[in-house]
Structure 1
Amino acid sequence: MLLTTRGRRSGTLRRTALLHVRDGERYILAASDAGADRHPAWYLNPTANPEVTIQIGPETFPATARTAAPEEKPRLWELIVAAVPSYRDYQEATDREIPVVIVDRASRPSAGSTGPAEEAVGGGRRVRPGQARPRRAVA
């Protein structure tokens, strides 16, 4: 998955490649940064502006990202660990609690409107320099 967010301070569009698991129609992400002691930068951006764009294969669409509520997290965390067992090691490597992020497809925008990150992805076309910076795949 490619996740495009708007920088919380700069307003710059940022693109990050992430692993995800599905939970029905939702996409589930772990903000692990491989067990680092601080949250990955990609996670901080949607906490300030939850409107994001995701690309999976050739499909690109607007979505809304949010941190899983405490009552949602245990079940979603187990889905993540079942798919990628190394996430359990990441949690053990850090004192912080790794956030779980739920990404829901946004309802269809009205005619003429676009999501804030939609312009960066351009419906699968190449992004112009300076619009969104591809990042290395992180988890």
Structure 2
Amino acid sequence: MTEVDAASTRDWVTDHLEEYLSSGGARGHVLDLTSVGGHAFTTHCLIKVVGRTSGRVYVTPLIYGNVAGEIVIVASKGGADTDPQWYRNIVASETIGVQIATQAFEATWREPEAEERHQVWAYMTHLYPPYLGYQTATTRHIPVVMLRPGRPIDVFTA
């Protein structure tokens, strides 16, 4: 990814996050990602994590799927050779916040293993086919995280 591409991606992500937050989740949940190889109705959640070293709160929009009542997110970082910071922060936490449209929850997390991971990965690559290219672009094993919603919390704000 070139510097210009990275800047334009950051701008797009920032705009998406602002729309999701400013609308309380009424907008930003479903996006058309056909221009980047995705589907016309791609669902997005927000995750809220606390920085493991900074203590700051970070909110990130991510594509998600639903497998047997668990929310699935993928730590792809566009196929970069390092894990995204949000993933590192999840690993350092017992729970995180997750918002889907206009509902938010505290959630516990886990990483599926073996055959379950294979099945969940196949499902997520069906939801967002570019994940396949992201995996071939890196030597790291892209993490898949499953979130189990718990108690309701307030929707996220800017």
Q: What does residue 22 of structure 1 align with?
A: 66
Counterpart CA distance in 1 for 2:133 and 2:84 is 17
Higher relative contact order (CA 8 A, sep 6+): 1
2:49 aligns to what? 5
Q: Are the counterparts in 1 of residues 49 and 90 from structure 2 also a CA contact under 8 Å?
A: yes
Aligned residue identity for 1:58: T
Read off the aligned partner of 2:78 and give its amino acid letter.
Answer: A
Residues 1-139 of structure 1 correspond to what in structure 2 (within 5 A)? 1-106=45-150, 108=151, 123-124=154-155, 126-127=157-158
Q: Are the counterparts in 1 of residues 49 and 97 from structure 2 also a CA contact under 8 Å?
A: yes
Distance of 1:45 and 1:67 partners within structure 2:
14
Aligned residue identity for 2:121? W
Task: Quote the offset at 1:22 in angstroms.
Answer: 0.8
Letter of the structure 2 residue corresponding to residue 77 of structure 1 = W
CA RMSD of aligned residues (A): 1.6
For residue 67 of structure 1, report the CA deviation from its aligned partner.
2.2
1:8 aligns to what SS in structure 2? coil
Please give the TM-score of this superposition, normalised by the length of structure 2.
Answer: 0.67
- Structure 1 unpaired stretches of 5+: 110-117, 128-139
Residues 1:93 and 1:58: Cα distance change in structure 2 (over 3 Å): same
Report the Cα distance in structure 2 between the residues aligned to 1:67 and 1:81, rounded to whole angstroms. 16
Greater helix percent: which structure?
2
CA distance in 1, matches of 2:121, 2:140: 15
Q: Which runs of 4+ in 1 moved over 6 A?
A: none
Letter in 2 for 1:9: T
Q: CA deviation at 1:24?
A: 2.0
Q: Tell me the number of residue pairs that the alignment of Structure 1 and Structure 2 aligns.
A: 114
How far apart, in 1, do the equivalents of 2:92 and 2:147 lie?
Answer: 15
TM-score of the superposed pair, with normalisation by structure 1: 0.76
